[in-house]
């Protein structure tokens, strides 16, 4: 197997950059990884993939890792695509599915992006990595850096969920809490690059996290028999997953693997406590102004300014979709309801998506008979400090009134 990467491309102006060395950004904006898709088409078919192990690495021809190089892996098996009829009925849908990313090694979709980023960092000989995080990305970087024997520095807001803080510490990362938001953490990483000699693994500050997240789209397409759903509803903070899937669908279309020319409408979801993408979409802007006083219990959505704002907005518009801000106060109740209906460990970010679906169905933007896929991006167990219930206590186990338990 050979590497099919031809070059890197600046998303802002199309400048070509070589892919055989460490690259970060161009004019402050992200890079695309580009492939020789004609050569890929001649080397592998969709049928070939069915005979390979069901992991995120199965289509190496569409990934940047060079031939003969083993990935840094914790066992990233394909995540389940689950029918969710009861939640679907509650939302007004008859063909509703949940792609459950909580099954990945670090309990969230961040495993995909950071597995790829750390793999490429190790390949290029980098030794010290740093990341600003709302939580799950920090845990993933810490775990994969430990797996690769690399040093990791993690900066997270002071109110980041305890589970995220603990997993970073257990994986041996140097963890620092910051009195501020993720953009304040990002400034610390950016300003410390010269003094600390670390590599910035922030969202889309290097080109390979995007390629890892792209595997969500590759995997979904194969699971659905190469016929894409009508609608994908996705929680959007930094937006890497939404952009990555849209890129995956374009590459699959060029390869001729898709059985229909239809592409999903890519619906972007945020909280009304932090909705810069929604505001920019509604105002017809290509770039999003930073959101002031960002607040939401869904920590992955608390991203006041995304470096890939224009890429997110381009994908939404190209797909014929929209961006939705849901009421912050309804997110945790929606999370509890979704889990109780389906048993899937829905995180608050994805509970926001359920609210957005219900709203979009009511507004006629999504038809009740359309196939809709919601991405559950993390396990609810990462957020137990938000939802820890007060439970009744049986004071005397020898004297239980069973009639009062119902």
> Which stretches in the chain have pLDDT values below 70?
1-2
Closest CA to 312 of 211, 376, 253, 241: 241
359/43 Cα distance (integer angstroms):
44
On whether the CB atoms of residues 18 and 10 are closer than 8 A, the answer is no
Give ∠ CA 353-355-360 in degrees, rounded to 5: 90
280/288 Cα distance (integer angstroms):
5
pLDDT for the residue 1? 45
126/116 Cα distance (integer angstroms):
14
- Which is it for the CA torsion 111, 116, 118, 122, positive or negative? positive
Burial class (CB in 10 A: 0-12, 13-18, 19+), 359: middle
pLDDT for the residue 388? 73
Give ∠ CA 137-138-141 in degrees, rounded to 5: 85
Nearest-10 Cα torsion for 343, 344, 348, 353:
-110
Q: What are the DSSP calls for 105-121, one per residue? A: TTSBTHHHHHHHHHHHH
On whether the CB atoms of residues 108 and 379 are closer than 8 A, the answer is yes
On whether the CB atoms of residues 323 and 236 are closer than 8 A, the answer is yes
pLDDT for the residue 403? 86
Q: Which residues are CB-neighbours of 35 under 8 A, at least 6 positions away? A: 4, 5, 6, 61, 62, 251
pLDDT for the residue 405? 86
Please give the structure tokens belonging to residue 278.
Answer: 């929604």
Closest CA to 96 of 341, 370, 394: 370
On whether the CB atoms of residues 148 and 122 are closer than 8 A, the answer is yes
Please give the structure tokens belonging to residue 190.
Answer: 């950016």
pLDDT for the residue 57? 97
The residue with tokens 């080109």 is 207
Q: What domains are defined for the chain?
A: 81-107+207-386 (3.40.50.1100)
Distance of CA 208 to the CA centre of its chain: 13
**Is residue 268 within a helix (H) or strand (E), and if so which, with residue range?**
strand 265-271
Residue 70: CB atoms within 10 A of its CB come to 10
- How would you classify residue 303: left for phi > 0, otherwise alpha for psi between -120 and 50, otherwise beta? beta
Closest CA to 278 of 386, 360, 338, 210: 360
Burial class (CB in 10 A: 0-12, 13-18, 19+), 115: buried
10/122 Cα distance (integer angstroms):
23
Burial class (CB in 10 A: 0-12, 13-18, 19+), 368: middle
Give ∠ CA 237-240-245 in degrees, rounded to 5: 125
Closest CA to 324 of 368, 267, 366, 372: 267
């Amino acid at each position: 197997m050979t590497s099919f990467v031809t070059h890197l491309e600046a998303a802002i102006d199309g400048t070509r950059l070589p892919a055989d060395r460490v690259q970060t950004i161009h004019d402050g904006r992200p890079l695309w990884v580009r492939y020789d898709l004609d050569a890929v088409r001649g080397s592998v078919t969709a049928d070939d993939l069915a005979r390979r192990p069901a992991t995120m690495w199965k289509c190496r021809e569409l990934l940047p890792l060079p031939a003969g190089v083993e990935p840094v892996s914790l066992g990233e098996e394909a995540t389940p695509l689950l029918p969710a009829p009861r939640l679907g009925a509650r939302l007004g849908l008859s063909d509703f599915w949940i792609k459950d990313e909580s099954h990945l090694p670090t309990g969230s979709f961040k495993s995909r992006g950071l597995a790829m980023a750390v793999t490429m960092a190790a390949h290029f000989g980098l030794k010290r990595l740093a990341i600003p995080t709302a939580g799950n990305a920090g845990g993933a970087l810490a775990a994969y850096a430990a797996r690769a024997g690399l040093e990791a520095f993690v900066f997270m807001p002071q109110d980041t969920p305890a589970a995220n803080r603990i997993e970073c510490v257990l994986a041996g990362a140097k963890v620092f809490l910051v009195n501020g938001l993720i953009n304040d953490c990002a400034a610390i990483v950016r300003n410390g690059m010269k003094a600390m000699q670390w590599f910035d693994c922030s969202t889309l500050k290097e080109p390979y996290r995007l390629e890892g997240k792209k595997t969500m789209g590759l995997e979904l397409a194969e699971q659905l028999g190469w016929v894409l759903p009508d609608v994908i509803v996705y929680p959007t903070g930094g937006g890497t997953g939404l952009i990555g899937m849209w890129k995956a669908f374009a590459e699959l279309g060029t390869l001729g693997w898709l059985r229909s020319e239809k592409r999903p409408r890519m619906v972007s979801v945020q909280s009304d406590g932090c909705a810069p993408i929604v505001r920019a979409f509604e105002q017809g802007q290509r770039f999003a102004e930073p959101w002031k006083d960002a607040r939401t219990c869904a920590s992955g959505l608390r991203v006041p300014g995304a470096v890939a704002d224009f890429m997110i907005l381009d994908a939404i518009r190209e797909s014929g979709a929209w961006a939705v801000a849901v009421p912050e106060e309804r997110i945790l109740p929606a999370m509890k309801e979704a889990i109780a209906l389906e048993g899937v460990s829905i995180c608050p970010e994805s509970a926001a998506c359920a609210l957005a679906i219900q709203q979009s169905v009511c507004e006629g933007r999504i038809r009740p008979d359309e196939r809709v896929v919601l991405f559950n991006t993390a396990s609810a167990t990462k957020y137990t400090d938000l939802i820890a219930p007060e439970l009744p206590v049986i004071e005397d186990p020898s004297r239980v009134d069973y009639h009062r338990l119902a």
